[in-house]
């Protein structure tokens, strides 16, 4: 497939119409969608649009108060909305494990998992289990949640796993020595690594599930550069001056959260992508990711190492 150029400009009207038509033509029957970080930004906009179409959503969020407030806003806009909340702190694999158990124990199905939450370009810090924060939150937390929920997701016909990645994956490479190290840490390469990991996990998961007729599809997406809380570290008091200047220059070309949510909504609900798996999307269309993202040896190793890391962390948390 010929590589298409991604863009940071506002989503074209044709892409907005494409997503709207696709959602309107979604397959019959309401779906239950679990959305990480659904209390704000593109996750909230996706949740709001999906409940308008009759789907039910679970907002899986770190801040219970913000999650409850988001659910109340959705109910105010759509009184008939089926929306609930779930505590999920992706920076704590014990919390991720607890959230997964709660979802597995619930009688409600999981038709779609939208891995939406994330952090971008933060100063060096670590998760509760000692992993570099961006890699730990953006990749390992979602890796554990996704793999833990697979048995239940498989039970839903036509289920989907959708992961919000970024064109910034082009800035990163998978450095297996960096996952617990502050050596040579730089905010943007670390963010790029975490987003590259999202895409490579998506591709590897799709390959591993390809022979299973009951398996969900797995796809990743670039939402565009969106005006959300994700950019909070770019304009904080501690941010380097050049980052503030860069964000200020980019702002006129960014998307609104509603625009940024369109590809997520499309991949969650459109019949056009029924059975499509192992792809990367931008503006509701499949595009090529970077050559590094197609390295199957690195992807296989990343999957296996991630599995080992989260298993050890969860075991340690259980023994504490």
Residues catalogued as catalytic: 191
Q: Which two tokens stand for residue 320?
A: 């504490």
Nearest to residue 4, comparing CAs of 293, 281, 204?
A: 281
Q: 29: phi > 0 → left, psi -120 to 50 → alpha, else beta; which?
A: left
Q: Which two tokens stand for residue 87?
A: 């505590």
* CA atoms of 238 and 226, how far apart (whole Å): 21
* Cβ proximity of 200 and 299 under 8 Å: yes
Those residues whose C-beta lies under 8 Å from the C-beta of residue 276, and which sit 6 or more positions away, are: 217, 219, 286
Nearest to residue 27, comparing CAs of 108, 112, 116?
A: 112
State phi, psi for 174 to the nearest 5 degrees.
Answer: -85, 110
* CA atoms of 83 and 74, how far apart (whole Å): 8
Nearest to residue 140, comparing CAs of 170, 174, 167?
A: 174
């Amino acid at each position: 497939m010929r590589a298409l150029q991604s863009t940071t400009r506002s989503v074209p009207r044709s892409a907005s119409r494409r997503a709207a038509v696709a959602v309107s033509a979604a397959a019959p029957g309401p779906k239950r969608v679990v959305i990480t970080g659904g209390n704000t930004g593109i996750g909230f906009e996706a949740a709001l649009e999906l409940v308008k179409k009759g789907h039910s959503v679970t907002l899986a969020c770190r801040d219970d108060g913000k999650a409850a407030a988001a659910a109340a806003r959705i109910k105010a806009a759509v009184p008939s909305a089926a929306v609930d909340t779930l505590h999920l702190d992706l920076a704590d694999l014990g919390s991720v494990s607890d959230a997964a158990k709660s979802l597995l124990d619930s009688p409600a199905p999981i038709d779609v998992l939208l891995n939406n939450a994330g952090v971008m370009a933060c100063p060096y810090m670590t998760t509760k289990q000692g992993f570099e924060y961006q890699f730990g939150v953006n990749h390992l937390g979602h890796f554990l949640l996704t793999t833990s929920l697979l048995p239940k997701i498989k039970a839903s016909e036509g289920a989907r796993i959708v992961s919000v990645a970024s064109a910034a994956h082009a800035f990163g490479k998978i450095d297996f020595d960096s996952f617990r190290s502050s050596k040579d840490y730089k905010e943007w390469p670390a963010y790029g690594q975490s987003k590259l990991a999202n895409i490579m996990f998506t591709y590897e998961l799709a390959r591993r599930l390809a022979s299973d007729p009951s398996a969900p599809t797995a796809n990743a997406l670039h939402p565009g550069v969106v005006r959300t809380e994700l950019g909070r570290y770019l304009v904080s008091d501690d941010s380097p001056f050049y980052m503030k200047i860069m964000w200020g220059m980019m702002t006129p070309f960014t998307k609104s959260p509603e625009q940024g949510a369109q590809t997520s909504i499309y991949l969650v609900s459109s019949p056009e992508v029924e059975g499509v798996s192992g792809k990367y999307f931008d503006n509701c269309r499949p595009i090529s990711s970077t050559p590094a993202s197609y390295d199957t040896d690195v992807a296989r190793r990343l999957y296996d190492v991630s599995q080992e890391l989260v298993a050890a962390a969860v075991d340690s948390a259980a023994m504490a």
